[in-house]
Amino acid sequence: MIRNALGRTLGTGALLAANLISLASMHGQQAAPAARLITSAVNNSDRVALSGSIRKSLSHATDLGAAQSSLTAKHVMLVLNRSADRQAALDQYLSAVQNTQSTQYHHWLTPAEYGARFGASTDDVQALVAWLQSQGLTIEKTSAAANVIAFAGTVGQMQAAFSTQIRSISVNGEKHLANMSEPQVPRALAPAVKGLLGLDDFRPRPGVQQGPAAKFNATTGRIQPDLTEASSPPYLYIVPADVATIYDTPNTALNTAYKGTNYDGTGVPWRNIEYSQSADLRH
């Protein structure tokens, strides 16, 4: 089975973006319909490559042969593009929502609101879904944020749909599956596609380095928070409430300085957003 290293953003997400900007709604703002980026008929034989879809580390990989075409590939993601106007509007919103002097400060959006204001056009999403289905692939989900289409199929179907080769390889003694050529999409669809994630089984590795143990306060019976040691480099010990305060989390149980509507995550869906190697997947 191939499992994509997601996010690998949706920081457009994401990917990955990401998919979510959560939590509270912004009222009184209606977005104009998104401009279509797919403006011509699809010719499946006229294709362009999605650049940046091959890992740099694969230049040192040992090819072990073709991957089994019957293997299942799940949660592959087509990351969608947005028009220049919507990108400019998103950049402006991201600046305003973090500006304490702005009327939009901390006016968060739900995924659906995000999609309506900054996502791909409904017509483009429908066109891409139709093309994926025409290639025999199964749609798993189209994101409410209108920035990702998740789908599944076999390795053989993925290779045929995207005119690429998925190989069994060895990297630093570890066996993996990965596409060894840039995936391609019909030229007519390319303006609406930012990238493709999930044609390999590489997973992100944590970059954290474990520091020394925190100091236990025998009097209070707790780990002592907010303690910076006189060491090189210094280590800062924090508890969940410290993190909530630092990031001004809208939860009064953890962030006692917060004044406003309290959010504890009840009823809010979540996704696990991981590492992305594409610099394009910033929002």
Percent of the chain with pLDDT over 70: 76
Residue 23 pLDDT exceeds 80: no
Q: Tell which residue, 255, 246, 12, has the closest CA to residue 111.
A: 12
In the prediction, which pLDDT does 205 show? 78
Domain range list for the chain: 2-205, 212-260
Which pLDDT value is given to residue 273? 54
**Lowest mean pLDDT across 74-78, 105-109, 263-267:** 263-267
Percent of the chain with pLDDT over 90: 53
Give the least confident one: 108-122, 144-158, 177-191, 260-274. Answer: 260-274
Mean pLDDT for 15-37 is 55
Among 14, 152, 7, 6, which Cα is nearest to 82's?
Answer: 14
Question: Does position 11 have pLDDT exceeding 80, yes or no?
Answer: no
The pLDDT score that the predictor gives to residue 224 is 62
Write out pLDDT tens, residues 59-96.
Answer: 889 999 999 999 999 999 999 999 999 999 999 999 99
Which residues, listed in sequence order, are joined to residue 138 by a DSSP beta bridge?
A: 152
Of residues 157 and 249, which shows the higher confidence score?
Answer: 157
pLDDT, average across residues 237-243: 79
Question: Using CA atoms, how far apart are residues 76 and 59, in angstroms rounded to an integer?
Answer: 23
Kindly state the average pLDDT of the residues 243-254: 87
Alpha carbons 271 and 281: distance in angstroms, whole number: 16
Using CA atoms, how far apart are residues 271 and 143, in angstroms rounded to an integer? Answer: 11
Structure-block tokens of residue 231: 């060491």
Contact 199, 73 (CB under 8 A): yes
Q: What is the pLDDT of residues 208-239, one digit of tens each?
A: 776 656 666 777 766 664 455 555 666 666 77
Averaged pLDDT for residues 117-136: 97
- 86 closest CA partner among 131, 32, 123: 32
Digit-coded pLDDT (tens) for 162-198: 999 999 999 988 999 999 999 999 999 999 999 999 9
Residues 6 or more apart whose CB falls under 8 angstroms from that of 177 comprise 2, 67, 71, 155, 166, 167, 168, 169, 200, 201
